[in-house]
Structure 1
Amino acid sequence: MLPPVLNSSPPVRPAPRRGPKLLFLAVLFGVLLNYPLLAVFDHNGRVGGVPVLYLYVLLVWIALVALTGWLVRKKGEPEEGT
């Protein structure tokens, strides 16, 4: 009979649950990009020659991409190119 083999690999941690956070993020940005808030920024004002509404939509979109990327990136995973 063979002796029992000891498992020398590190314990596997379960993946973090990102579903509720991603759902919250989707709802938040759905609200930010919906009529009532868009109407607040829909006027003739300009910032640096850019209409305020366009600037608002661009900044909200950049925030959505950045927060989603930060949220789904796996911790402890090396970044590309390093």
Structure 2
Amino acid sequence: MSPQEQTEQRRGQQLLFITLLFGILLNFPLLAVFDHDGKVGGVPVLYLYVLLAWIAVVVLTGWLVTRMKHEE
């Protein structure tokens, strides 16, 4: 297996991990933890959690893709 193929396979595995992480973060048990009447700065806690999880996944994916481009 060539180094290029190994890099592509590794990138695919890391992107799959990020996808699974996002699926876990937005799964029922964790959503239920944040589903209550509390508010942070006037924003419901559940909405804030979903927004922060989404931002974290976008940032992590962007960092991973740009890092892999620099390694090529």
Is there any run of 5+ residues in structure 2 with no aligned partner, and where? none
Identity percentage over the alignment?
71
Structure 2 residue aligned with 1:75: 70
Which piece of structure 1 moves more, 17-26 or 55-64?
Answer: 17-26
Letter of the 1:58 counterpart: L
TM-score for both structures, normalised by structure 1: 0.72
Of 2, 15, 19, which aligns to 2:12?
Answer: 19
Is there any run of 5+ residues in structure 1 with no aligned partner, and where? 1-12, 78-82
Instruction: State the alpha-carbon separation in 1 of the partners of residues 18 and 57 from structure 2.
Output: 8
The alignment covers a number of residue pairs equal to 65
Q: CA RMSD in A?
A: 1.6
TM-score for both structures, normalised by structure 2: 0.82
Q: Which has the higher contact order (CA 8 A, sep 6+)?
A: 2
